[in-house]
């Protein structure tokens, strides 16, 4: 398969591509040569903007609505994308519930937990199973990349971190078991972002922002492009002998 990180000739599904990390992954994958299926749940304007930027790079972008809490929505997406492209080389489960900004921040602790388990964990598991099923039928398989959180390895004090640890930690454990189950045809890997400057990072208290940067060995917050670089690598032939692995993208906070 070669040793290049190029995605030329490959097709990818990227869920939650309207903004932030998902948008960053989409742009990086397009620059690497992939044609993309991009999903959104509520921010259609955002995903259309991402798609337009992908097409400006010269790659194909197909926009699909998907709700990770709805099993049929996931299955419909997989069948639609498979029909459009003929195959799926990489599936990135980036979409997740928001419990720290917008209306999610006001939810009770139990409601936040239910939302994370229903969307992030259950949705990722169902999407992974469907992707693995489709890839197993392809002559050269494919790769699934699930998004977790670097702090699941060490823990973090606080109410929201407890909830994220439960959902994202389970995604990491599930992905490792799935990797063993679907090998050798399908690879499954995990990317675990840390402090990334998305909508949450941009809106955080400036004192907290500076403290995070100072406590990070690389002395800054991460950017969506930092996460995207790891995803593109794992989706490429350069990572063809990696499965069940986790790449922490957190500037060294968790080692």
- Provide the annotated active-site residues: 164
C-alpha span between 182 and 141 (Å, rounded): 10
The CB density around residue 101, as the number of other CB atoms within 10 Å, is: 12
Q: Find all residues with CB under 8 Å of 193, minimum gap 6, and list them.
A: 21, 147, 149, 150, 222, 227, 249, 250
Alpha helices (H) along 32-95 = 44-57, 71-85
SS3 call for 14: strand
Closest-CA residue to 128 (of 168, 78, 199): 78
HSE (side-chain half, CA atoms, 13 Å) at 33: 12
Q: Find all residues with CB under 8 Å of 7, minimum gap 6, and list them.
A: 29, 32, 33, 34, 89, 90, 232, 235, 236
Instruction: Compute φ and ψ for 41, nearest 5 degrees.
Output: -110, -50
């Amino acid at each position: 398969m070669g040793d290049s990180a190029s995605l030329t000739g490959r097709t990818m599904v990227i869920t939650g591509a309207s903004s932030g990390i998902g948008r960053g992954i989409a742009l990086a994958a397009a620059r690497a040569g992939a044609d993309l299926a991009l999903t959104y749940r509520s921010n259609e304007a955002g995903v259309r903007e991402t798609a337009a930027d992908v097409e400006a790079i010269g790659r194909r972008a197909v926009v699909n609505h998907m709700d990770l809490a709805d099993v049929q929505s996931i299955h419909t997406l997989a069948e639609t994308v498979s029909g459009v492209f003929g195959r799926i080389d990489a599936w990135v489960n980036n979409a997740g519930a928001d419990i720290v900004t917008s209306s999610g921040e006001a939810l009770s602790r139990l409601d936040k937990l239910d939302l994370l388990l229903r969307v992030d964990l259950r949705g990722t598991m169902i999407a992974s199973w469907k992707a693995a099923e489709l890839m197993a039928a392809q002559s050269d398989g494919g790769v699934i990349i699930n998004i977790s959180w670097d702090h699941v390895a060490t823990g973090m004090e606080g109410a929201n971190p407890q909830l994220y640890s439960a959902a994202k930690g389970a995604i990491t454990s599930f992905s490792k078991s799935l990797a063993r189950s679907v090998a050798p045809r399908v690879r499954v890997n995990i990317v675990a972002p840390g402090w990334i400057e998305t909508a949450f990072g941009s809106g955080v208290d400036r004192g907290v922002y500076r403290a995070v940067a100072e406590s990070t060995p690389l002395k800054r917050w991460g950017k969506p492009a930092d996460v995207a670089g790891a995803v593109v690598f794992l989706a490429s032939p350069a990572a063809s002998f990696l499965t069940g692995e986790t790449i922490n993208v957190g500037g060294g906070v968790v080692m």
